């Protein structure tokens, strides 16, 4: 029988079998741990879902009250006032538009001065001090000294003082002039012309001055050119123009649409009273129209040279708060 040497190459398989058993036991442990964690996770999710479903949503929630003051007034309630507060520049920054101009302008009254009959301050002299005779001065000084001391009982009447006062009064009466009857003074008023009287009459300060409305430069130039051209006689131009007589394409300006012709004519009179300077060389066109079964009358203005002229006219009226649309005759 042959003998085999004891070499590692010819060793038994026991070592390999023990290593395989160790790996198998570790895998089994990991599997069981994962299974336990999965079951715990499923149980936790199930419990949480059960609590969410069975929760009473109609219950009153409990809110803990806040500690301290609910509201606290600021130290400076009015805030800090800027030196430029209330100016028009702030209105531009707030509303992205300029503040409208004031309707009226009030001027401050003129300062009060001296009139022609009032004397100058340099001419007013200080009042002269009152001079008394020596006896009167001595009596006044004695009375002033006596007034400083408390008087317990009235002093007896001295007859010599009474005699001195009577002598002083008689001396003053001798030097005075006797009274004479005063003759009435007749004053003759100077002759003045009506023009001088009107010029020198009392003047009152301007208490309320209306700001004049601004006109576009283009309208000023157009009005000046028309004044140089001369006024148009009333014989060659009439106020009303029939809509059929207006050629197609003529530039017009529509002031509105009204329910009747009488209302349109009254509105024209109102526009003339308000914008007479713009309508002095224009003509009136009242056109009857119908839309949706309703009849109305369009009030239009005729007398423009081109589309730019009608647009300038409407821009001037819209700036004053009136309705105006440049249109073309059809």
Residue 328 lies in a domain: yes
Write down the pLDDT at residue 245.
87
Q: Which domain holds residue 302?
A: 256-330
Residue with tokens 């209105």: 91
Q: What is the dihedral of CA 114, 116, 121, 125, to 10 degrees?
A: -140
Residue 172 lies in a domain: no
- Strand-pairing partners, residue 295, are 290
169 half-sphere exposure, CB direction, 13 A CA radius? 6
The pTM score is 0.31
226-254 confidence digits (pLDDT tens): 554 444 444 445 788 888 888 888 999 99
Low-confidence ranges of the chain (pLDDT < 70): 1-21, 56-61, 86, 102, 119-162, 173-237
**How many domains does the chain fold into?**
1
The CATH number linked to 320 is 3.30.70
Which among 182, 210, 10 is positioned nearest to 105, based on CA atoms? 210
Tell me the two tokens of residue 286: 């009242």
Residue 318 lies in a domain: yes
Give residue 35's pLDDT: 95
In a domain, 62, yes or no: no
If phi over 0 gives left and psi between -120 and 50 gives alpha, with beta otherwise, what is residue 303? left
First to last CA, the chain: 137
Question: What is the pLDDT, as a whole number, of residue 103?
Answer: 75
What does the pLDDT read at residue 239? 81
Position 113 scores a pLDDT of 73
**Has residue 54 been placed in a domain?**
no
Question: CA 293 to CA 286: how far, in whole Å?
Answer: 19
Quick one: pLDDT at residue 45? 95
Whether 286 is in a domain gets the answer: yes
**Is 314 domain-assigned?**
yes
Query: Is 108 inside any structural domain?
Result: no
**Tally of CB atoms within 10 A around 70:** 5
Taking CA atoms, 269 is separated from 45, 274, 275, 277, 325, in Å, by 87, 9, 10, 13, 18
């Amino acid at each position: 029988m042959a003998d085999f040497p004891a070499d590692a190459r010819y060793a038994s398989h026991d070592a390999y079998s023990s290593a395989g058993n160790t790996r198998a036991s570790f895998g089994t442990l990991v599997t069981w741990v994962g299974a336990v964690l999965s079951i715990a996770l499923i149980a936790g999710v199930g419990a949480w879902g059960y609590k969410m479903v069975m929760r009473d949503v109609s219950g009153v929630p409990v809110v803990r009250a806040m500690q301290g003051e609910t509201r606290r007034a600021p130290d400076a309630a009015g805030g800090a006032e800027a030196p430029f507060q209330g100016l028009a520049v702030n209105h531009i920054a707030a509303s992205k538009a300029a503040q409208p101009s004031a309707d009226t302008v009030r001027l401050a009254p003129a300062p009060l001065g001296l009139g022609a009959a009032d004397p100058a301050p340099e001419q007013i002299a200080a009042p002269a001090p009152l001079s008394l005779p020596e006896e009167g001065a001595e009596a006044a000084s004695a009375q002033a000294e006596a007034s400083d001391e408390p008087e317990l009982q009235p002093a007896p009447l001295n007859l010599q003082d009474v005699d001195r006062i009577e002598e002083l009064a008689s001396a003053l009466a001798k030097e005075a002039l006797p009274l004479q009857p005063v003759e009435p003074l007749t004053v003759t008023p100077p002759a003045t012309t009506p023009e001088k009287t009107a010029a020198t009459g009392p003047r009152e300060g301007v208490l309320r001055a209306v700001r004049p409305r601004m006109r576009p430069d283009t309208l000023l130039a157009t009005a000046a050119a028309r004044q140089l051209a001369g006024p148009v006689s009333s014989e060659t131009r009439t106020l009303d123009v029939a809509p059929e007589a207006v050629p197609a394409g003529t530039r017009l300006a529509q002031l509105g649409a009204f329910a009747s012709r009488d209302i349109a004519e009254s509105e024209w009179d109102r526009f003339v009273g308000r914008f007479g300077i713009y309508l002095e060389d224009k003509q009136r066109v009242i056109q009857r129209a119908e839309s949706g079964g309703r009849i109305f009358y369009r009030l239009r203005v005729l007398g423009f040279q081109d589309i730019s002229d009608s647009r300038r006219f409407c821009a001037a009226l819209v700036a004053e708060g009136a309705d105006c649309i440049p249109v073309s005759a059809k």
